[in-house]
Amino acid sequence: MKIRIILLTIIALTSIVILFLPLTINPKIIEKLNSENYNYSYTKAICDGENFCQDYEIICEGNKTIQKNPITGASIQHEDDWNDPRDKNIIEKDCIIK
């Protein structure tokens, strides 16, 4: 009977640890996210003065743009009277950690 109680306790504790382990916040992860050396990438359309827009992969290190790679086949030519609906800050800036 004691062995059953011990085994059930071990199983219950293990289950609790497994369930709640992903919810713990590691300070080193938060420090890395706030670091200027945090590397990440995203895609963004960059448009020229003739309303030709090309999608790019923007590679960042902190707030610094490391590289811009055009994505093949991801471009569009808009009409002459087209205006980019995005906010000016989004259009002009690349790598921003908030």
Q: Would you say residue 96 has pLDDT above 80?
A: no
More confident residue, 37 or 89: 89
Query: Domain limits of the chain?
Result: 26-92
Q: Would you say residue 34 has pLDDT above 90?
A: no
More confident residue, 46 or 39: 46
Over the stretch 40-92, which tens digit does the pLDDT of each residue have?
Answer: 888 899 999 899 999 999 998 888 889 999 998 888 899 999 988 988 888 88
Number of H helices, E strands in the chain: 3, 3
Q: What does the pLDDT read at residue 97?
A: 64
- For 39, residues 6+ apart whose C-beta sits below 8 A from its C-beta are 59, 60, 61, 66
